[in-house]
Structure 1
Amino acid sequence: MALGLTYATSQTLVRMRLAAFRHALKDQSRVSWIGTGALLGLVLAGGTIWVAATGDQDLLLVALAVWMLGWVVGPLFAGGGDETLKPEYFSMLPLTPRTLSAGLLSAALAGVAPVISLLALLSLVVLGAQLSVPVALVALPVVVLQLLCFVLASRLAVAVYGVLLQVRSGAVLAAVVNAFILAFSAQGWALIAAFVSTDVQGTMASAARFAPSGWGLVAVDAAGGGDWLRVLLAVAGLAVLAVVMFAAWSTLLVRRTTASRTGRKPRRLLTGSGPRDAAAAKEVRSWTRDLLYAHRAVFAVCYGLFFCLMPLAVGWDGMLPWAGPAALVMAGSMSANLYGSDGTALWTTLMTPGSAGPDVRARQRAFLLVFGPVTVLITVLLTWWSGSSSSWPLVLSVLPALLGGAAGLVVATSVFAAVPTTDAHKRSGNPLNSGENEGETMGIVWVMLILVSLTAGPALVAALAWSWWGVPVGVASGVLAWWYLGRVAADRLEQRGPELLTLLRHGRSTTEQAKKTAALAEFPRWRRNLANFCLGFGAIPLFPQAVVPAVFKLTGNNDTKSWFLALHLDSRWRWPVITLMATLGLTMYAYGALTYLNAKKASRPDG
Structure 2
Amino acid sequence: MVAQLVRLKLTLLGNTFRRSVWQTIGMALASVYGLGIIVMVVAAAVLGGTTDPVTTGQVLTLAGALVVLGWWVVPLFAYGVDATLDPQRFVTFAIPRRRLLAGLAAAGVVSVPGAVTLLGGLGVSFAWWREPLALLAALAGALVAVALCIVGSRATTTLLAPLLGSRRYREVLAIVAVVPLVLLGPAIGSLTSTFSIGPDSVGEAVEPLARVVAWTPFGAPWALGSAVHDGAWGLLAARLAVVLATLAVLWTVWDRALARALVTPPGGETAGAGKGLGWFSRLPATPTGAVAARSATYWLRDPRYAASIAVVPLLPVVMYVTGVNAGAGTSFLMLLVAPLVAWVLGFGISNDVGYDNTAFALHVAIGVPGRADRWGRALPVLVAGTPIVVAFALVGCAVAERWDALPALLGISAGALTTSVGISSAASARFVYPVPKPGESPFKTPQGATVATMVAQFAAMGLMLALSLPTLVLGIVAIVTGLPAVGWVALAVGIVLGGVVLVGGVRWGARTVDRRRPELLQQVMAFR
TM-score (norm: length of structure 1)? 0.70
Q: For 1:144 and 1:167, locate their aligned partners in 2 and report how far apart those are by CA, in whole Å.
A: 36
Q: For 2:363 and 2:103, locate their aligned partners in 1 and report how far apart those are by CA, in whole Å.
A: 43
Q: Deviations over 1:544-594 (max 9, x none)?
A: xxxxxxxxxxxxxxxxxxxxxxxxxxxxxxxxxxxxxxxxxxxxxxxxxxx
Match of 1:42 among 32, 35, 40: 35
Asked if residue 223 in structure 1 is aligned to residue 228 in structure 2, the reply is yes
Instruction: Tell me the equivalent position of 2:146.
Output: 147
Match of 1:267 among 264, 267, 275: 275
Q: For 2:393 and 2:243, locate their aligned partners in 1 and report how far apart those are by CA, in whole Å.
A: 47
Q: For 1:221 and 1:93, locate their aligned partners in 2 and report how far apart those are by CA, in whole Å.
A: 45
Tell me by how many angstroms 1:144 deviates: 0.9
Q: For 1:209 and 1:407, locate their aligned partners in 2 and report how far apart those are by CA, in whole Å.
A: 52
Q: For 2:219 and 2:116, locate their aligned partners in 1 and report how far apart those are by CA, in whole Å.
A: 18
Contact 2:371 2:507 in 1 (8 A): yes
Unaligned runs of 5+ in 1: 1-7, 509-607
Contact 1:156 1:248 in 2 (8 A): yes
Instruction: Tell me the equivalent position of 1:305.
Output: 316
Tell me by how many angstroms 1:167 deviates: 5.5
Q: Which amino acid aligns with 2:304?
A: L
Q: For 1:92 and 1:145, locate their aligned partners in 2 and report how far apart those are by CA, in whole Å.
A: 32
Contact 1:85 1:104 in 2 (8 A): yes
Asked if residue 122 in structure 1 is aligned to residue 142 in structure 2, the reply is no
Q: What SS is found at the alignment partner of 2:403?
A: coil
How many residues matched? 495
Q: For 1:334 and 1:162, locate their aligned partners in 2 and report how far apart those are by CA, in whole Å.
A: 31
Contact 1:196 1:203 in 2 (8 A): no
Instruction: Tell me the equivalent position of 1:405.
Output: 419
Over the matched positions of the two proteins, sequence identity in percent amounts to 22
C-alpha distance 22-196 of structure 1, shift in aligned 2 (>3 A) = same
C-alpha distance 397-86 of structure 1, shift in aligned 2 (>3 A) = farther
Tell me by how many angstroms 1:397 deviates: 1.8
C-alpha distance 148-380 of structure 1, shift in aligned 2 (>3 A) = farther
Q: Deviations over 1:408-440 (max 9, x none)?
A: 23332222221234642xx45x55436424424
Q: Deviations over 1:134-163 (max 9, x none)?
A: 222222321112223344566678887995
Instruction: Tell me the equivalent position of 2:330.
Output: 317
Pick which of 482-491 and 446-455 moved more: 446-455
Match of 2:205 among 203, 206, 225: 203
Tell me by how many angstroms 1:219 deviates: 1.2
Based on CA coordinates, which of the two structures has the bigger radius of gyration? Answer: 2
Q: For 1:485 and 1:434, locate their aligned partners in 2 and report how far apart those are by CA, in whole Å.
A: 28
Q: For 2:238 and 2:140, locate their aligned partners in 1 and report how far apart those are by CA, in whole Å.
A: 14
Tell me by how many angstroms 1:461 deviates: 0.5
Q: Which amino acid aligns with 1:146?
A: A
Q: For 1:370 and 1:99, locate their aligned partners in 2 and report how far apart those are by CA, in whole Å.
A: 55
C-alpha distance 486-503 of structure 1, shift in aligned 2 (>3 A) = same
Q: Deviations over 1:357-393 (max 9, x none)?
A: 1011111112223433323222322321331235424
Contact 1:165 1:171 in 2 (8 A): no
Contact 1:321 1:379 in 2 (8 A): yes
Q: For 2:380 and 2:304, locate their aligned partners in 1 and report how far apart those are by CA, in whole Å.
A: 15
Instruction: Tell me the equivalent position of 2:387.
Output: 373
C-alpha distance 129-33 of structure 1, shift in aligned 2 (>3 A) = same
Instruction: Tell me the equivalent position of 2:481.
Output: none
Match of 2:359 among 340, 345, 360: 345
Contact 2:174 2:442 in 1 (8 A): no
How large is the Cα RMSD of the aligned pairs? 3.8
TM-score (norm: length of structure 2)? 0.80
Q: For 2:88 and 2:516, locate their aligned partners in 1 and report how far apart those are by CA, in whole Å.
A: 35
Q: For 1:332 and 1:241, locate their aligned partners in 2 and report how far apart those are by CA, in whole Å.
A: 48
Q: For 2:254 and 2:372, locate their aligned partners in 1 and report how far apart those are by CA, in whole Å.
A: 45
Pick which of 17-26 and 147-156 moved more: 147-156
Q: For 1:472 and 1:113, locate their aligned partners in 2 and report how far apart those are by CA, in whole Å.
A: 51
Instruction: Tell me the equivalent position of 1:494.
Output: 514
Q: What pairs up with 1:236-255 in 2 under 5 angstroms? A: 236-242=241-247, 251=257, 254=261
Contact 1:397 1:470 in 2 (8 A): yes
C-alpha distance 321-138 of structure 1, shift in aligned 2 (>3 A) = same
Q: Which amino acid aligns with 1:439?
A: T
Q: For 1:95 and 1:125, locate their aligned partners in 2 and report how far apart those are by CA, in whole Å.
A: 37
Match of 1:458 among 455, 470, 477: 470
Contact 1:80 1:432 in 2 (8 A): no
C-alpha distance 273-49 of structure 1, shift in aligned 2 (>3 A) = closer
Q: What SS is found at the alignment partner of 1:122?
A: helix
Q: What SS is found at the alignment partner of 2:350?
A: coil
Q: Which amino acid aligns with 1:397?
A: G
Asked if residue 21 in structure 1 is aligned to residue 13 in structure 2, the reply is yes
Q: What pairs up with 1:475-486 in 2 under 5 angstroms? A: 475-486=495-506
Q: Deviations over 1:187-221 (max 9, x none)?
A: 74235435879835752575466446543332111
Q: What SS is found at the alignment partner of 1:226?
A: coil
Q: For 1:477 and 1:97, locate their aligned partners in 2 and report how far apart those are by CA, in whole Å.
A: 65
Bigger RCO (CA 8 Å, 6+ sep)? 2
Q: Which amino acid aligns with 2:40?
A: G
Q: Deviations over 1:63-107 (max 9, x none)?
A: 546756776788799996544444554455566887666544432
Q: For 2:346 and 2:416, locate their aligned partners in 1 and report how far apart those are by CA, in whole Å.
A: 9
Unaligned runs of 5+ in 2: 478-485
C-alpha distance 165-209 of structure 1, shift in aligned 2 (>3 A) = farther
Asked if residue 111 in structure 1 is aligned to residue 111 in structure 2, the reply is yes
Tell me by how many angstroms 1:232 deviates: 2.5
